[in-house]
Amino acid sequence: MVRHQPLQYYEPQLCLSCLTGIYGCRWKRYQRSHDDTTPWERLWFLLLTFTFGLTLTWLYFWWEVHNDYDEFNWYLYNRMGYWSDWSVPILMTTAAAFTYIAGLQVLALCHIAVGQQMNLHWLHKISSALLKPSL
């Protein structure tokens, strides 16, 4: 009986698989790369960092303006003609967007720390470009 030896043994690297899978949807080992990050991906990282800063500023603004929620609602009531508390949905949407962008930022910084090539998934690129608050 002939026993076959495996040619190579790969360690699972579950943390790295989750990191590259969530950030860039590259779940397989052969899809990961230690090559240099492309200039376009560096540009997307800068856009992500800029979006993170804007979203943080927008969240801070809506968090600190809590004394003026009533004034904001009265302004909208006079414009639209019906009363609705718009401050809570705006604050919740802003908090959700900040959490999403902060998570992507942490994943990008982890990619830099472990030396993996950054390859942001196209869905994250579109959502991070759309989540920039208009100040």
For the record, the structure tokens of 50 come out as 């800029």
Give the H/E segment covering residue 107.
helix 87-114
Per residue in 85-110, pLDDT tens?
Answer: 888 888 888 889 899 999 999 988 98
Q: With cut-offs at 50, 70 and 90, classify the pLDDT of residue 135.
A: very low
Q: Where are the domains of the chain?
A: 36-128
Distance CA 95, CA 64 (A): 13
User: Counting Cβ atoms within 10 Å, is residue 125 exposed (0-12), middle (13-18) or buried (19+)?
Assistant: middle
Decide: pTM greater than 0.85: no
Per residue in 30-79, pLDDT tens?
Answer: 556 667 778 888 888 998 899 999 999 988 888 887 777 888 888 888 99
